[in-house]
Amino acid sequence: MSQLPQPLNVSIEDHHVFIMECLRHVGASEQHALIVADALALTDSWGTFTHGSKLLSGYTSRVKHGGCQTDVDPEIVRDGPSWAIVNGNSTLGQVAATFAMQTAIGKAREAGMAYVGVHNSCHFGAAGVYSAMAADENMIGISTANDIPSVAAPGSRKAVLGTNPFSYAIPARRHPPILLDIAMSTVAGGKVYAAHQLGKEIPDNWIIDASGRPTTDGSLYPKNAALAPMSGHKGYGLALLMESLAGVLSGANLTWNVKAWISDSPDEPTHHGAGFLAFNVGVMQNMDEFLNRVDGLIDEIHNAPKIEGVDRLYVPGEMEWERREIAKENGVTLPPDVVMVLRQMTREIGLETDIV
């Protein structure tokens, strides 16, 4: 394994410029590059580096070779007062997902709640980005997507479903939004890749080998291993729900008919699906009262008795929002595996930059 570079600190603003520059260099439109840069820079500022700019290498390859289109926009193909089906038109996943959640928010303003399904899309990065969009509008947001299978079912020797991420965001007043973003596997596949790139052994509950047995050898994934489902049958059951919301209901491709956005030919669409829900709290109850109640719930959790050695209890997303506030002041410190991938990508696309 080649020696990894040192961590790199960069301001959020410069990082955003760099991401846009990479995408524009391979032919992405200004608007599409902006949307993707917003999502990836936000994700890196949360400290969720597996789903931030580390993904750029795959995205730039697909834009360059035509698998992701940037001269068209997503479009609504069917809709009603509280729902819509969106054709992503093979655009970058962040572009289709942002359009879909904006559509869900708009419809929820009138109908109280809305579902928007997306087909013909691509990998959309961190699901929490889109749920947070709803929280910014004082709505509850839910986001999910499907993917090529990489997660085993309890008792299977191979993958049967994707990691099928699930996210929700709930707005608050004094506190940042509650924000959960999880894969339906024990960990996201990106964490297995990162551990292997960093030369670290993985826990024995992350993946199973070709015989269906737990293994700590991250190099086996994904060709000769599958991710273990989160909490066994519970994660498997939830992954099937996400497949239904993001794939079956949206009309997207399912399971093995979804292309691998990293390894399959970059000149072909991947046909990912996604699903988004927005709940307009303000039409259901007094908004001020709701926000106060969420704050009270968070305070109650913070004040719960703690075990010895634990100084603080967190709600989902709290660590990420705090990291973002620090990053606004001090910049984002990209870990070695991310720096390595970004430098390799700039060489591959022929971009000269002094940022990475």
Look at residues 260, 250, 245 and name the one whose alpha carbon lies nearest to residue 74: 250
Q: Are 57 and 348 in contact (CB under 8 A)?
A: yes
- Give CA–CA dist 141/104, Å, rounded: 9
For all residues of the chain together, what is the average pLDDT?
A: 96
The answer to whether 146 and 242 have CB atoms below 8 angstroms apart is: yes
pLDDT at position 336 over 90: yes
- pLDDT, tens digit, for every residue of 137-155? 999 999 999 999 999 999 9
User: Tens digit of pLDDT for each residue in 99-110?
Assistant: 999 999 999 999
| Residue 3: per-residue pLDDT | 83
CB neighbourhood size of 263 (10 A)? 11
pLDDT band at 294 (very low <50, low <70, confident <90, very high): very high
Predicted confidence (pLDDT) per residue in 19-43, tens digit: 999 999 999 999 999 999 999 999 9
Average pLDDT over every residue of 84-89: 98
Q: Residue 286: pLDDT above 60?
A: yes
Provide the pLDDT for residue 39.
Answer: 98
Cβ-count burial 342-356 (b if 16+ within 10 Å, e if not): beebbeebebeeeeb
Q: What pLDDT digit, counting tens, does each position of 165-212 carry?
A: 999 999 999 999 999 999 999 988 888 988 988 889 999 999 999 999
Residues in the chain: 356
Q: What confidence score (pLDDT) does residue 2 get?
A: 61
Sequence-ordered strand ranges (E) for 48-205: 75-80, 83-87, 113-121, 139-145, 151-152, 159-161, 166-170, 178-182
Domains of the chain: 8-185+229-285+329-349 (3.30.1370.60)
| Phi/psi of residue 202, nearest 5 degrees | -95, 155
Lookup: tokens for 44: 């890196």
Q: Distance (Å, rounded) from C-alpha 229 to C-alpha 240?
A: 11
Q: How far is Cα 247 from Cα 241, in angstroms, rounded to an integer?
A: 10
